Amino acid sequence: MLIVPAIDLKEGRCVRLWQGKKEKQTIYSEDPLAVARGWVEAGAQRLHVVDLDGAWQGRPRHLGLVEKMAREVDVPLELGGGIRDFSILNKIFEKGIDYAILGSCALSLTFMERACREFGSKIIASVDAREGHVVVEGWEKETPIQASHLAKDLARVGVSTIIFTDVTRDGTLKGVNAEAVRHFVKAASVDVIVSGGISSLEDVKKIAKLTNLGVTGMIIGKALYTGEIELEEAMKFLRGD
């Protein structure tokens, strides 16, 4: 199982938000490239990068920065935030970024089916939920769609990996909503990467217990930056050291 450090980009900085709210941010670094190198040096095997400005504006704003990041680290990068048409998808892969995360576009099954047909496992769907309902456009727009129902539809059109985020827990250090994760994973029937609220080694252990249901990784953000979770310690636990 992968532990994937999160690098959220806003105005060229590495930040963390509270429940995705743009007005509740903490700046952790003016140098996201150094942050990326640091996580890889600490043992990270993949990095989760979100272009927050892109998510809000509907088009990536940090592609140049993420391209540099992809060149400087020797682990795969997954990028989300404002990826809403095929011209952007092509640009992302041309720049050496390994995976594209589609959130708002995940509501269009026609788009997702074509994306999976053209790019295969390079496409990751992001299903972000608040109290079970999907939220999109930088988590600012709530839909009536049930997250578990969308997961089934995405699996049907060819999506092989979904990132599931409980946005009410994201950036709060309140702990993972294990029951919501379990419910979602059972519905998804594809590989699931869990995100949102992972704030202790106990949370890591809870998620690790869901491996047999199809959980293949977890994204950790704020807890790594505050030191609530030490990356090396969490990875040792998963390896059984």
Catalytic machinery residues: 8, 128
> How many other C-beta atoms can be found within 10 angstroms of the C-beta atom of residue 202?
10
Q: What distance in Å separates the CA atoms of residue 68 and residue 36, rounded to the nearest whole number? A: 11
Find, among 112, 193, 108, the residue nearest to 157 by Cα. Answer: 112
Q: Tell me the C-alpha to C-alpha distance, in Å, between residue 36 and each of 63, 87, 144, 237.
A: 15, 26, 36, 22
HEC per residue, 158-213? CCCEEEEEECCCCCCCCCCCHHHHHHHHHHHCCEEEEECCCCCHHHHHHHHCCHHH
